[in-house]
Structure 1
Amino acid sequence: MKKFKSTKDIKVGVVGYGGAFNMGQQHLQQMKKAGMTPFAVCEIDPERLKVAEDDFPGIETYGSLDAMLKQSDVNLLVHITPHNLHYPLAAKCVKAGKHVVTEKPFVVTTSEADRLINLANKHNVMVSTYHNRHWDGWIMRAVREIVEKKTIGDVYKVEAHFGGYGMPRDWWRTSKSVSGGVLYDWGCHLLEYTLQVVDSDIVEVSGYAKNGYWESQAPKNFPWIGDMNEDEATAVVRFANGCVANLCITQLDPVRRPPLTFYGTKGTYIINHFGWQDDPQQWILKKANRKHQIKETSGKHPKSRGDLFYKNIAEYMTGQADLVITPEWARRPIHILDLAGKSAQAGKAMKAKHA
């Protein structure tokens, strides 16, 4: 890949400037902070294009991706679109010679991931996905304690859990055909955390799903009837080193559970976090001594450094660093999620392929 002389030479843009979470502005601001130059916005809603122009005076605006690719000199495009559009839109940009970052999840299926990686190699461009949570304070400390210091010995099991109890919202993330399923949103984060700690090949994945309850409770005019996500889904991952990871995302469980628990031969590391104001926002370490006595310590999570994602992208594109979130790395959670869905349908475990 041809490198840029300086970060300011990297002209960046976003595909999607919708109002949800104001993510278009967030991405462009983070890229600007990393030294890159906000240059273009593509958005089908004319009102949101006006917002983009107000946020970034002088920025190029386009109502279609085809127009942007034909007319703009933008170098790097970030895709902030529904999950099922990540692959087709990213592939179109790669074929046009543009570097690409997709919002997580990378894509929806293993096949899409492999095709996008092959396209990027063919056209000699960078492809990555927005795993800014790779640098979250809780996982950064966990990696130091578990991987580097081996505080809890050898990790043999990981429990990952997220969700609650309630009717899904009326938005595209509730559609299985658009989102990929209930596992894809937070499950992608939790798997990426897990893979930072468990350094081993994926052998096989088993998937389990509970369907139909919330669909039976939905109003007749609910737009996603017939295409709703699972009420709850689970992925069980077996690694070559013997470790097992259990991921569960649910809308049927009223019990608040730790999002991540790492079990080792010498203790347990619990990450209580994140997303709820009354969460304890802390790590807990339970370690046994030779007399089988349990000592518990805890503390607050270190500061998260999600800004390091685009700093790394800028440094990679200017030849100053290796890429952290490679497309091959981004593929690993997608392969697990894809296999879990296929396993749930088939009722049997699915073998992993070069994962």
Structure 2
Amino acid sequence: MTQSFNNSLIKTAIVGYGFSAKTFHLPFIDTLSEFDVTAISSSQVDTVEQDWPKVQHYLTAEEMICNTDAQLVIITAPNNVHFSLAKLVLENNKHVILEKPFVTKITDGNTLISLAKEKGLLLSIYHNRRWDGDFLTVKKLIEEKTLGQIKHFESHFDRFRPVVRQRWRENSQDGGGILFDLGPHLIDQALQLFGLPDAITAHCKITREGSSNIDYFNLTLHYPDKLASLSASLFSAGPNLRFNIQGDQGTYRKLGLDPQEDLLKAGIRPDGEHWNNESVEQYGTLYTEDALVAVKTELGGYQHFYQGIAHAINNAGQVPVSAEDALWNIRLIELAMESERLGKTMAVKL
């Protein structure tokens, strides 16, 4: 029987206590008044008990999911267990948020979507980069046709990590590598702007010594009137180009990543609406035929995802990121790997 949740204060449990949980999730659910952190599962017993002494601690995700009275479970575990843990959460009649990527196999995603619908539970994926200030700026420029007709859209998520690290994100054979780690960010943003492409051409390579997974990719999404190029490299040591968007009325270029991740890593609490303002020096530039202008970055904020979740739970609203949307990211990743394997462009079919 589907459990009914009517209280405005949402009891929340988190699977995992690593970088993702501590940086991208706990600061928001701890800051927002709609949520109450009630349980954490992690093998880091001493650290969790020190940081969260009033929160119930479980050694395993499975034990917590089956025993906690939390209404909502956030999964920040490795990609290869997203499906099994999310399925267990839904079977225990709790709402679930999954870190991206949603799943590593299309069939698993469809199973979770069907199960959530059957039980009347919320299933959402944490595509937080929809609330990057630079992305919101790009979205506004395109919607207002400031650049005219877009001809080429270029989006990067580059880093300088030439040495392979011994961690699951890089070494897991099921959902490891940057195509599953960074790819969903870039793909999701492109789909939000332009919808599904007609086709995809991809180069997905292993470039670092000792690497066992894709650590470079360039995906070209083919639209009737434009191309979208999505790239990630781990050999980018200089100032990183984030966006280069060319239209028939001008070009917008933006360097550097949205500041929210660095602020959160530095321990800045996301209080209020303006905790993550960019400085003037960080603004992107609009180039036209006879001028260049600094473009103020729109105000982003990952808190908007969780505010949307609270509204969806308390008011039977729509989740801020649907599982159906997130599953298209996985479908395009699968097509990208097939494009690399076959050396040809792959059609994207509904």
SS at match of 2:82: helix
Give the corresponding residue for 2:218. 234
Decide whether aligned partners of structure 1 residues 333 and 265 sit closer, same or farther in structure 2, where only a CA change above 3 A counts.
farther
Give the corresponding residue for 2:208. 214
Give the corresponding residue for 2:286. 285
Task: For 2:116 and 2:349, locate their aligned partners in 1 and report how far apart those are by CA, in whole Å.
Answer: 20
Aligned partners of 1:234 and 1:340 also within 8 Å: no
Give the corresponding residue for 1:129. 125
What's the CA shift for 1:349? Answer: 2.4
Decide whether aligned partners of structure 1 residues 305 and 73 sit closer, same or farther in structure 2, where only a CA change above 3 A counts.
same
Task: For 1:337 and 1:256, locate their aligned partners in 2 and report how far apart those are by CA, in whole Å.
Answer: 27
Aligned partners of 2:74 and 2:98 also within 8 Å: yes
| Alignment coverage as a number of residue pairs | 329
Query: Does residue 267 of the first structure (1) align with residue 250 of the second (2)?
Result: yes
Query: Does residue 155 of the first structure (1) align with residue 150 of the second (2)?
Result: yes
**CA-to-aligned-CA distance 1:295-319 (integer Å, 9 cap, x gap):** 2111453443111111110011111
Task: For 1:80 and 1:152, locate their aligned partners in 2 and report how far apart those are by CA, in whole Å.
Answer: 38
Aligned partners of 2:3 and 2:94 also within 8 Å: no
Decide whether aligned partners of structure 1 residues 39 and 257 sit closer, same or farther in structure 2, where only a CA change above 3 A counts.
closer
Decide whether aligned partners of structure 1 residues 197 and 26 sit closer, same or farther in structure 2, where only a CA change above 3 A counts.
closer
Task: For 1:68 and 1:253, locate their aligned partners in 2 and report how far apart those are by CA, in whole Å.
Answer: 40
What's the CA shift for 1:273? Answer: 2.0
What's the CA shift for 1:247? Answer: 1.4
Give the corresponding residue for 2:85. 89
Decide whether aligned partners of structure 1 residues 234 and 25 sit closer, same or farther in structure 2, where only a CA change above 3 A counts.
closer
Task: For 1:113 and 1:242, locate their aligned partners in 2 and report how far apart those are by CA, in whole Å.
Answer: 31
Query: Does residue 247 of the first structure (1) align with residue 230 of the second (2)?
Result: yes
What's the CA shift for 1:101? Answer: 0.5
Aligned partners of 1:164 and 1:255 also within 8 Å: no
Give the alignment partner of residue 185 of structure 1, picking from 173, 181, 185: 181
Task: For 1:252 and 1:25, locate their aligned partners in 2 and report how far apart those are by CA, in whole Å.
Answer: 24
The TM-score normalised by the length of structure 1 is: 0.83
Query: Does residue 77 of the first structure (1) align with residue 60 of the second (2)?
Result: no
Decide whether aligned partners of structure 1 residues 142 and 2 sit closer, same or farther in structure 2, where only a CA change above 3 A counts.
farther
Task: For 1:70 and 1:137, locate their aligned partners in 2 and report how far apart those are by CA, in whole Å.
Answer: 38
Task: For 2:153 and 2:24, locate their aligned partners in 1 and report how far apart those are by CA, in whole Å.
Answer: 32
Decide whether aligned partners of structure 1 residues 146 and 203 sit closer, same or farther in structure 2, where only a CA change above 3 A counts.
same
Matches within 5 A, 1:17-36: 17-18=17-18, 20=19, 23-24=21-22, 27-34=25-32, 35-36=34-35
Task: For 1:95 and 1:261, locate their aligned partners in 2 and report how far apart those are by CA, in whole Å.
Answer: 44
**CA-to-aligned-CA distance 1:102-155 (integer Å, 9 cap, x gap):** 1122222333322221221122211111122211111122212211x1111222
Give the corresponding residue for 2:6. 5
SS at match of 2:157: strand
**Segment of structure 1 superposing worse, 315-324 or 137-146:** 315-324
Give the corresponding residue for 2:241. 258
| AA aligned opposite 1:242 | D
What's the CA shift for 1:275? Answer: 6.7
| AA aligned opposite 2:234 | Q
| AA aligned opposite 1:295 | A
| AA aligned opposite 2:87 | A
SS at match of 1:294: coil
What's the CA shift for 1:229? Answer: 1.8
**Segment of structure 1 superposing worse, 26-35 or 311-320:** 26-35
Query: Does residue 346 of the first structure (1) align with residue 314 of the second (2)?
Result: no
What's the CA shift for 1:257? Answer: 4.3
The sequence identity of aligned pairs, in percent, is 27
| AA aligned opposite 1:204 | A
Task: For 1:317 and 1:103, locate their aligned partners in 2 and report how far apart those are by CA, in whole Å.
Answer: 18
**CA-to-aligned-CA distance 1:47-93 (integer Å, 9 cap, x gap):** x2332233333322212233223322111111111122212211221
Gaps of 5+ in 2: 263-279
Task: For 1:3 and 1:157, locate their aligned partners in 2 and report how far apart those are by CA, in whole Å.
Answer: 48
Decide whether aligned partners of structure 1 residues 348 and 118 sit closer, same or farther in structure 2, where only a CA change above 3 A counts.
farther
| AA aligned opposite 1:316 | A
Give the corresponding residue for 2:37. 38
Matches within 5 A, 1:105-144: 105-144=101-140
| AA aligned opposite 2:285 | I
| AA aligned opposite 2:233 | T
Gaps of 5+ in 1: 219-224, 288-292
SS at match of 2:251: strand
Aligned partners of 1:273 and 1:282 also within 8 Å: no
Task: For 1:253 and 1:140, locate their aligned partners in 2 and report how far apart those are by CA, in whole Å.
Answer: 24
| AA aligned opposite 1:107 | V
The TM-score normalised by the length of structure 2 is: 0.84
Task: For 1:303 and 1:208, locate their aligned partners in 2 and report how far apart those are by CA, in whole Å.
Answer: 33
